A and B are shown apart, each in its own frame.
Chain A
């Protein structure tokens, strides 16, 4: 029993914790939880908690159902939800096989492997997500969702639900040790954005999972409903998760070079080139639902074409203007990600794509100065701006041939994602939609 574990045991006793939730994430990025009583905690540290992995999406193949969840004591946290009368705490878990080997299908392990690879080249990977989501009135079956307000970008809504909500959310997140950098009302009605502070990619991914759970809980407390669905309203912008990336070599920001154009180092340029070249392949991971493509192709700042620019809000990769003298804050922004992605897998494939560019010295194409949306299709083709996949089906077909994605996710996750997403597409395609009924039924 190490000190950290002892600390957890002591806290559980002192704080009168009644249940400990062991958290992990399935391959689709849905948070899973096993609750244990404090009496089981010591055993959970020593041996892990066995559970039936076959019940969890993508985690195991059916015939090897036994899996072990090993709680990571450094992630111990009291859950500050007010709704719970009894004190509840949580820890993230690593998933292992009964032989004690890391489970290939544990998304946390997928990301850890990708980070290890970066670390072998001397890099650490930092991310900073800007998470957008909608607040709705409580859902009513059969009716379209109703946003809690009609405000817009940066609007301060007097006594608005969203305002209270964000304040409560931020307090809750900070009390869980998750630093929040920024929060404001977004462009859509009822849409909000909260930015999490820079952290290494694994911590960020854990934080995003916690963030989603916390936001949903607080919404319930306040009598509203929060959704991370990429495009819940057809007339309003979707919820993206623009994410800033940077690589560090030791304490030095590897993206910064004071002498280079845009102060972008060679590493940064190759990293961007890697992101661009592999963007279509990884889209089925970064934008994983049929609904994701309605955001991606719905305009309103969503990037549909593979290109990069500085302060170009139509570009897939944007290089933000830096404040002078802040070399350590050099970073690039990847704008395709949406709020419903599995952050572990998404960070893993994007890191791998960028590193591939660095390893193989990809050439960075010229940057896009124009608003890519305004160009004609012919102009875009002439300028070499490839489109991202237009649908989940397209995205799967591109990903299927990707060695990069297969190697990064591991064969098991790769195969699972392909099968799961094909099934999703097939189920989606078999729908007869309201659109069809409205448009065709009367006339055909």
Chain B
């Protein structure tokens, strides 16, 4: 190896060449063919013989991929020799403009291939005229001329037709593209010129469609009978196209002179199809890009071409939100200008109506979430366009702001993303700093996108996954190394993500809350507009709360100024943003001296979001948090939101009872325990961490613990802690079925067994006292929440003694009881007290509640009683169908049906012996006494009714009110939000009515035995 070759290899390596030996060989081949010698000038000028450098314009050190550049130059030389264009090539590579050629050869194998296919076109790169900014009309003329059409004709028609015409069009397009690309990649500051490049690409696409149309006309003799316009949508419409992208278009046509609409549409459809195919069908010259007409009304099922009126009618009646977002970018690009303008004038106003549409913001945000979910997880990290923090996010944020404010402010009605951003900034709708950062992020992302697309002219939005690919991208976009590029990439993505919140929500804060001079602060009207757009019903009140929260110089105000932009967004996602913000203000005022509070909201990843969600959703939880503000700390940790298991609660209750002898102290602590667990469960319920039925189980367990504690206290108060009997408390009704809701009463019975010895009358007297005391402990006024104890289901109802001995209870049921009392016993579940009494109670009643036979008399009585209840028990003045408990198809209908099946069959089928409704329904199917489809109908109605009552309780309704679905439209919407099934208020109403109607049909057949013909 000679000294010279060693030094050349090292120079090449320092210039960024990956395989110096091979490249040196190629350089030698080029030299042999042309007499010209390439080198890596500027890297180490002293290291090379000066005589060897006679191509000063080509500097390998600045090229994206020097290996590729040299290889492609060699192939170009070979092609030029073959085609006789060598002199032309030599004159280009020795001119100062050689840098452009080298830059292209190093950046794009696809454009290199194009040159190698057409070496004569190399001289286009030697043109002294700058390619940018591209003149749209010149591009149009060049492409029309290429197909032999007259650019000045009103309807240019190609004279070079068929495959040669298509190829001529594409070659002319790529020749111009080559110039644009070479100037782009050799620019010292690509981020500066990226908008100009994007405009040029869009105008080139428009010119190609125009030439395509000229080709189409050549095959369509009746072309003058239609006036077809091509409207570009999306990036092409906004004049911000990238190198390779589907070009979204819409075709619109009006009849030409003397033609009717049907004929016009028929001709236009053929023209449109042919024009599109001239750009995208296979031919010897590669296709340019796909022409995508699927944004048209009705998508790919719709007519390809419509007239203006038909377009407008569609958008007025059928279109969905995303279609309006698409219209924001519509622009006539080819064909009949007047028709294009007429289309634009017809649909443009509709775009600005879109922000008034129902659910506009929800739709738009849901749309974006869907897009993100479609990005395959493997690629999300490399997605320049669709991933989190990518181009789509930037565009989305800007478009959303445009749509919200563009109605009132026409200066915002601008299609290109960067221009729109500038207008938003100028109008004071976004902060200066944020606008600048967003602008930079967008430009940088676009430059990367352009570079990765240009390499192979493929429609890709992925950063390269190979080290070499990343290195080339870094070199072509001005980064020193791939590490530097990746660092910038991650920073931009983070920035874009956080900027959505910053740009959208921060300017809502009043002027006093500005953190720095560069921030925007909207005037009252614009802030109100934005608050209303995200769902605040009373923007003025919201602005007052925001002012109160952010005013002043305190540390608290400063932290809240930081927190609020994000929190406003979270409030807005809840069903009742106004209530949420007000509650947050109240809570913050209550906790103004608690330093941990704001610190936690600021530092925790989830607490602030969860708090906002709870406060804007549930009045029940809000009240609980206001009563016991330190519970807010749970929101920081998931494990604090998991319901405590029963054993742990029992243990805690034991500890409370062991600690103190004072009855009031003990019961207060126990009731506090219950209040705390209800709040925890409700919070988890609202946050979707558990469902209504799990919540019901927890609420029931907590009731068991408190009831049991109250019984122990009451027992310890009599006879010096030695009562002459044992007692158990039997849970009945919904409490027995473990289906309690937050505000439910506890239905109970007290049963005791006297010890041997003392007077039965004396034991009974004391037992009555204990039962009374248990109720007093649980219900009397106290700082901690009460549990109302309902004893109406005891033997003899209101006339019976409060507590009854087990023997008397068994005797009563055995001898006197009505069928409905046996039915009530189906729900009897020993909940607290002496284990022996509990077990013997169950033994005593099983024969009654699971009879070997239910006589026809009893059956008739039960049915009559139910029918009477339906007419009498429902409150007056309400629509029975809205009563989820007693109305047709409501809880009672389902439960009575299930209970009848239990009375009839549980003796024979022990699996039916449960106090819980849903398991009983399942058991009925398993035992073959209920049809599967009937069971599904009953379970669905019961579950929905139960969930609805849970939602109403969380919303803060008093117990009685949770029985009736509200008629108020807003309340319905809020309840639908709490249920979280994605329903609107009217859908909730409708879905419940449907479930209940079906359940009623099953109930009438199974319970009443009514058969329809």
A interface residue numbers (CB < 8 A to B): 2-4, 61, 63-64, 74, 97-104, 119, 122, 249-251, 401, 406-407, 410-412, 415
* Cβ contact within 8 Å between B318 and A119: yes
* Cβ contact within 8 Å between A101 and B985: yes
Distance, CA A234 to CA B313, complexed state (A): 45
- Residues of chain B within 8 A (CB-CB) of A3 are 345-346, 349
B358 within 8 A of A: yes
- Residues of chain A within 8 A (CB-CB) of B997 are 406, 411, 415
* Cβ contact within 8 Å between A2 and B968: no
Of the stretches B130-138, B486-494, B987-995, the one at the interface is B987-995
Additional 18 contacts, C-beta under 8 A, given A97-B985, A98-B970: A2-B349, A2-B352, A61-B879, A61-B967, A64-B967, A64-B969, A98-B969, A99-B970, A101-B984, A101-B985, A101-B986, A104-B986, A104-B990, A122-B301, A249-B301, A406-B997, A411-B994, A411-B997
- Residues of chain B within 8 A (CB-CB) of A61 are 879, 882, 967
- Residues of chain B within 8 A (CB-CB) of A251 are 303
* Cβ contact within 8 Å between A64 and B968: yes
Q: How close is A74's CB to chain B, nearest CB, in angstroms?
A: 6
Which 8 A-B residue pairings sit nearest by Cβ, starting from the closest?
A: A411-B993, A97-B969, A64-B967, A99-B969, A63-B967, A2-B349, A100-B358, A101-B986
Q: How close is B250's CB to chain A, nearest CB, in angstroms?
A: 16
Chain B 298-326 per-residue mask, 1 if CB under 8 angstroms from chain A, else 0: 10011100000000010010100000000
B949 within 8 A of A: no
B497 within 8 A of A: no
B585 within 8 A of A: no
Interchain CB contact (< 8 A) of A104 among B313, B878, B989, B1012? B989
Distance, CA A251 to CA B316, complexed state (A): 20
Q: How close is A397's CB to chain B, nearest CB, in angstroms?
A: 8
Distance, CA A98 to CA B984, complexed state (A): 13
- Residues of chain B within 8 A (CB-CB) of A97 are 969, 985-986
Using CB atoms, name the residue of chain B closest to A4: B316
* Cβ contact within 8 Å between A250 and B968: no
Distance, CA A98 to CA B986, complexed state (A): 11
Q: List 12 A-B contacts (CB under 8 A).
A: A63-B967, A99-B972, A100-B358, A101-B986, A103-B986, A104-B986, A119-B298, A119-B318, A406-B997, A407-B994, A411-B989, A412-B989
Q: A64-B967, A99-B970, A101-B973 are in contact. Are A2 and B994 (CB under 8 A)?
A: no
* Cβ contact within 8 Å between A99 and B349: no
* Cβ contact within 8 Å between B301 and A250: yes
* Cβ contact within 8 Å between A74 and B316: yes
* Cβ contact within 8 Å between B970 and A101: no
* Cβ contact within 8 Å between A250 and B303: yes
- Residues of chain B within 8 A (CB-CB) of A99 are 969-970, 972-973, 985
Q: How close is A7's CB to chain B, nearest CB, in angstroms?
A: 11
- Residues of chain B within 8 A (CB-CB) of A415 are 881, 993, 997
Distance, CA A23 to CA B889, complexed state (A): 36
Distance, CA A411 to CA B358, complexed state (A): 22
Chain B 678-706 per-residue mask, 1 if CB under 8 angstroms from chain A, else 0: 00000000000000000000000000000
B350 within 8 A of A: yes
- Residues of chain A within 8 A (CB-CB) of B879 are 61, 63
Distance, CA A249 to CA B300, complexed state (A): 12
CB-contacts of B937-985 with A (<8 A): 967-970, 972-973, 984-985
Determine which residue in A97, A104, A119, A412 has the highest number of CB atoms from chain B within 10 A of its CB, and name it. A97
The size class of the interface chain B forms with chain A is: 20 to 34
Q: A61-B879, A100-B358, A250-B301 are in contact. Are A411 and B973 (CB under 8 A)?
A: no
Distance, CA A149 to CA B377, complexed state (A): 79
Distance, CA A103 to CA B358, complexed state (A): 13
- Residues of chain B within 8 A (CB-CB) of A64 are 967-969
B379 within 8 A of A: no
Using CB atoms, name the residue of chain B closest to A410: B990
* Cβ contact within 8 Å between A2 and B353: yes
CB-contacts of B335-352 with A (<8 A): 345-346, 349-350, 352
- Residues of chain B within 8 A (CB-CB) of A102 are 986
* Cβ contact within 8 Å between B967 and A401: no
Distance, CA A122 to CA B301, complexed state (A): 7
Determine which residue in B301, B346, B878, B881 has the highest number of CB atoms from chain A within 10 A of its CB, and name it. B301
- Residues of chain A within 8 A (CB-CB) of B881 are 415
- Residues of chain A within 8 A (CB-CB) of B986 are 97, 101-104
- Residues of chain A within 8 A (CB-CB) of B346 are 3
* Cβ contact within 8 Å between A406 and B994: yes
Distance, CA A406 to CA B352, complexed state (A): 37
Using CB atoms, name the residue of chain B closest to A63: B967
Distance, CA A252 to CA B727, complexed state (A): 80
Distance, CA A99 to CA B879, complexed state (A): 21
- Residues of chain A within 8 A (CB-CB) of B973 are 99, 101
- Residues of chain B within 8 A (CB-CB) of A4 are 316
Chain B 726-766 per-residue mask, 1 if CB under 8 angstroms from chain A, else 0: 00000000000000000000000000000000000000000
Interchain CB contact (< 8 A) of B990 among A2, A249, A250, A411? A411
* Cβ contact within 8 Å between B303 and A412: no
Using CB atoms, name the residue of chain A closest to B974: A99
- Residues of chain A within 8 A (CB-CB) of B350 are 2
Distance, CA A64 to CA B965, complexed state (A): 12
- Residues of chain A within 8 A (CB-CB) of B349 are 2-3
Distance, CA A250 to CA B346, complexed state (A): 23
- Residues of chain B within 8 A (CB-CB) of A401 are 1001, 1012
Q: How close is A206's CB to chain B, nearest CB, in angstroms?
A: 12
Using CB atoms, name the residue of chain A closest to B349: A2
- Residues of chain B within 8 A (CB-CB) of A250 are 298, 301-303
- Residues of chain A within 8 A (CB-CB) of B972 are 99
Chain B 909-927 per-residue mask, 1 if CB under 8 angstroms from chain A, else 0: 0000000000000000000
Using CB atoms, name the residue of chain A closest to B269: A251
Determine which residue in B879, B969, B997 has the highest number of CB atoms from chain A within 10 A of its CB, and name it. B969
CB-contacts of B417-463 with A (<8 A): none
- Residues of chain B within 8 A (CB-CB) of A103 are 986
Distance, CA A118 to CA B35, complexed state (A): 73
Distance, CA A100 to CA B986, complexed state (A): 11
Q: How close is A428's CB to chain B, nearest CB, in angstroms?
A: 22
- Residues of chain A within 8 A (CB-CB) of B994 are 406-407, 411
Q: How close is A348's CB to chain B, nearest CB, in angstroms?
A: 15
CB-contacts of B866-892 with A (<8 A): 878-879, 881-882
Q: How close is B32's CB to chain A, nearest CB, in angstroms?
A: 64
- Residues of chain A within 8 A (CB-CB) of B303 are 250-251
Distance, CA A101 to CA B971, complexed state (A): 13
- Residues of chain A within 8 A (CB-CB) of B352 are 2
Q: How close is B419's CB to chain A, nearest CB, in angstroms?
A: 24
- Residues of chain B within 8 A (CB-CB) of A412 are 989-990, 993
- Residues of chain A within 8 A (CB-CB) of B318 are 119
Distance, CA A305 to CA B756, complexed state (A): 82
Using CB atoms, name the residue of chain A closest to B973: A99
Distance, CA A244 to CA B990, complexed state (A): 31
Distance, CA A99 to CA B537, complexed state (A): 10
Distance, CA A401 to CA B349, complexed state (A): 47
Distance, CA A98 to CA B993, complexed state (A): 20
Distance, CA A412 to CA B302, complexed state (A): 33
Distance, CA A108 to CA B784, complexed state (A): 53
Distance, CA A102 to CA B359, complexed state (A): 12
Distance, CA A412 to CA B992, complexed state (A): 11
Determine which residue in B879, B986, B993 has the highest number of CB atoms from chain A within 10 A of its CB, and name it. B986
Using CB atoms, name the residue of chain B closest to A98: B969
Interchain CB contact (< 8 A) of A101 among B878, B969, B1012? B969
Distance, CA A158 to CA B881, complexed state (A): 59
Using CB atoms, name the residue of chain B closest to A120: B301
- Residues of chain A within 8 A (CB-CB) of B993 are 411-412, 415
- Residues of chain A within 8 A (CB-CB) of B1001 are 401
Distance, CA A64 to CA B970, complexed state (A): 11
* Cβ contact within 8 Å between B358 and A101: yes
Q: How close is A387's CB to chain B, nearest CB, in angstroms?
A: 15
Using CB atoms, name the residue of chain B closest to A2: B349
- Residues of chain A within 8 A (CB-CB) of B1012 are 401
CB-contacts of B752-787 with A (<8 A): none
